[in-house]
Structure 1
Amino acid sequence: MMLGLKDLILCLLQLVLFLPGLRASWDEWWTYDGISGPEFWGLINPNWNMCERGRRQSPINIEPDKLVYDPHLRHIHIDKHKISGTLHNTGQSVIFKVEKGTKHHVNITGGPLVYKYRFEDLYIHFGEANDQGSEHQINGAPFHRGCIQLYGYNADLYRNMSEARLGSNGIVGLSIMIQVGENGNDDVGILASGFQKVIYRGQKWPIKHLSLAGLLPTTHHYMTYDGSTTHPGCWETTTWLIMNKPVYITKQQLYALRLLMQGDQATPKAKMANNFRPAKPLHHRTVRTNIDFTNAHRSKGCPTMHREMFYAARQWPKL
């Protein structure tokens, strides 16, 4: 029997992985392109089979005319106190992880959430060009520049993220779109201050006094649905919240972000940019919103991201 292309590539990858002297973890091997990219995540590691077989995967393309207004959705709340942690270049993404052993946890509550979710880490996804970057899409188009994703685990039911990602209602993912502006967001600036310190894989830089609440855009409007983490193992225990306005990054900060590399200093490899997973099928899931298109906003028009933004909850203007 002839092997299919995917099977053949999988065999080659496994042979390489287990060659003497080259043993490594799949956590280090996966990428966003090529034979270790998103199309193969669910094949190269049995623990990631949801990446291949799951039917509640993320990110998704949001179709505004199919959004369901839910008047019971509350405002999202993130604790306002500041935290410290470490900025990491993992090769796949630039990640901020909260300081281990911290006594000042930041909790995410409200919205569609009925439990308290404790912030764990933050991922930044971005594109090499200005017409790509975010993982979630609106009307088939990504948001320009990129997105910041906050992940938290259900602290009411689980002890940590590793336990929560395998359990019901385990994870919350909050997506904030990034846009370029002359005056960047102050807390985006705190993260950006470390970009030049983590250019290569494995490099780390301490980040102090970061306000996650300060990363939120000035809106209470969002969209929400049940999905998965957008990185391996694509655990389908994630409630997603997608904010309806972006936060701002300066041109200089975006330039520094795009200098990040996938490899270490000795072997830089390719640039990290374009580290986003393609949109996955919705498979009849409902995407809810707290934006009332038919009543409160009829006289004022749909709540948009204002004149300097590229997408509105109701439409995506042609560029």
Structure 2
Amino acid sequence: MAFRGPAFWGLINPEWSLCNKGRRQSPVNLEPQRLLFDPNLRILHIDKHRISGTITNTGHSVIFTADNETSSAYGTPQIPVNLTGGPLSYRYRFHEIHVHYGLHDQFGSEHSVEGYTFPAEARHIQIFGYNSQLYANFSDALYRAQGIVGVAILLQLGDLSNPELRMLTDQLERIRYGGDEAPVRRISVRDLLPDTEHYMTYEGSTTAPACYETVTWIVMNKPIYITKQQLHALRRLMQGGPDHPKAPLGNNFRPPQPLLHRPVRTNIDFRNKLEKGGKICATMYKDVHYKGRRGWVMWGKKENIQ
């Protein structure tokens, strides 16, 4: 039996012991009945200006990394993009975007809701930033307290793609093999966010070794859209080089980890809104965003729709 995959990370390398022994690991299963409404949570803010960077097939994942603000690939200084607000007490500087997906629609999820892994969540992106008020760079912040913020955005199949996501997937043919990279110019990180101010948040870890427990996770409440053509292009990527391509890239995800006693807060107010006369508003449970394989799953309520 080969010792590989997430279940063995803590055994392969002693420096990865948190992957097996940690108490604040990610991703997790988000249970609507356990969400805690926090009226003090603010709107997440990401700077709107565009930046340039490089998209890379690492052989394990697809990652877009921002150019350093002092060494842009296009020869001009680049103003960093900051993430503030939400549950964050500090200013975080955008560093990179990870693309996760399964080779089949039913696989690939990381964060799940009430035990369901959705076709919608079999593909998602993660936006990472580091605490630039306390630490000098991403590598330094990665293993330090309150070092990293991760914003998880689900990708759902649709006829029209998110325009900023399309800027990334347009380069996939140039990064077909492991180690390939291509420049991406003038992308808006903020415009990758879905059209919602609602999210869930908890304290967790990176979802790859060494599983450092330094990440404030923000899971957005709506998806953005990806087309079948874009998903097919992702699934054509290979792990190795052109001479030894190995297996297709994909299935680059970690299964849910125990939540234990961690609180999961949200700015979604589930309290019943009453009409005049004390009747419950008929639309209070109609805010449906994700479809599971066995029915619709809503934040706060689950029901089957024929």
* Residues 250-293 of structure 1: CA deviation (Å, up to 9, x unaligned): 11111101111112211111111211101000011110110001
One-letter identity of the residue aligned with 2:43:
H
Maintained 8 Å contact 2:38/2:266: yes
1:213 to 169, 190, 199: 190
Q: Is structure 2 residue 261 aligned with structure 1 residue 284?
A: yes
Unaligned runs of 5+ in 2: 73-77, 275-279
1:304 to 259, 284, 287: 287
| Equivalent position of 1:263 in the other structure | 240
Q: Quick check: 146-155 or 135-144, which moved more?
A: 135-144
Cα distance between partner residues in 2 of 1:303 and 1:167: 41
2:112 to 130, 137, 147: 137
Cα distance between partner residues in 2 of 1:161 and 1:270: 30
* Residues 172-195 of structure 1: CA deviation (Å, up to 9, x unaligned): 000000001111100010011011
Cα distance between partner residues in 2 of 1:169 and 1:307: 30
Superposed displacement of residue 167, structure 1: 1.4
Normalising by structure 1, report the TM-score. Answer: 0.85
Q: Quick check: 176-185 or 128-137, which moved more?
A: 128-137
Say how many residue pairs are matched.
287
Maintained 8 Å contact 2:29/2:113: yes
Greater share of helix:
1
Superposed displacement of residue 311, structure 1: 4.5
* Residues 210-246 of structure 1: CA deviation (Å, up to 9, x unaligned): 1111100000010000000101111101000000000
Maintained 8 Å contact 2:290/2:298: no
Superposed displacement of residue 132, structure 1: 2.8
2:137 to 160, 181, 204: 160
Cα distance between partner residues in 1 of 2:262 and 2:45: 25
Cα-Cα RMSD: 2.0
| Equivalent position of 1:55 in the other structure | 23
Q: How does 1:94-113 map to 2 (within 5 A)?
A: 94-100=62-68, 101=70, 102=72, 103-113=78-88
| Equivalent position of 1:123 in the other structure | 98
Q: Is structure 2 residue 62 aligned with structure 1 residue 87?
A: no
Maintained 8 Å contact 1:201/1:262: yes
Cα distance between partner residues in 1 of 2:52 and 2:288: 30
| Equivalent position of 2:44 in the other structure | 76
Cα distance between partner residues in 2 of 1:51 and 1:222: 26
Cα distance between partner residues in 1 of 2:106 and 2:8: 25
Cα distance between partner residues in 2 of 1:303 and 1:221: 15
| Equivalent position of 1:314 in the other structure | 300
SS in 2 for 1:257: helix
Maintained 8 Å contact 1:222/1:242: yes
Cα distance between partner residues in 1 of 2:112 and 2:304: 14
Maintained 8 Å contact 1:224/1:287: yes
Cα distance between partner residues in 1 of 2:161 and 2:177: 24
Unaligned runs of 5+ in 1: 1-8, 10-33
| Equivalent position of 1:18 in the other structure | none
SS in 1 for 2:117: strand
Superposed displacement of residue 140, structure 1: 1.1
Cα distance between partner residues in 2 of 1:146 and 1:132: 9
| Equivalent position of 1:3 in the other structure | none
Superposed displacement of residue 134, structure 1: 2.5
Cα distance between partner residues in 1 of 2:164 and 2:303: 29
SS in 2 for 1:134: coil
Identity %, equivalent residues: 49
Superposed displacement of residue 305, structure 1: 4.2
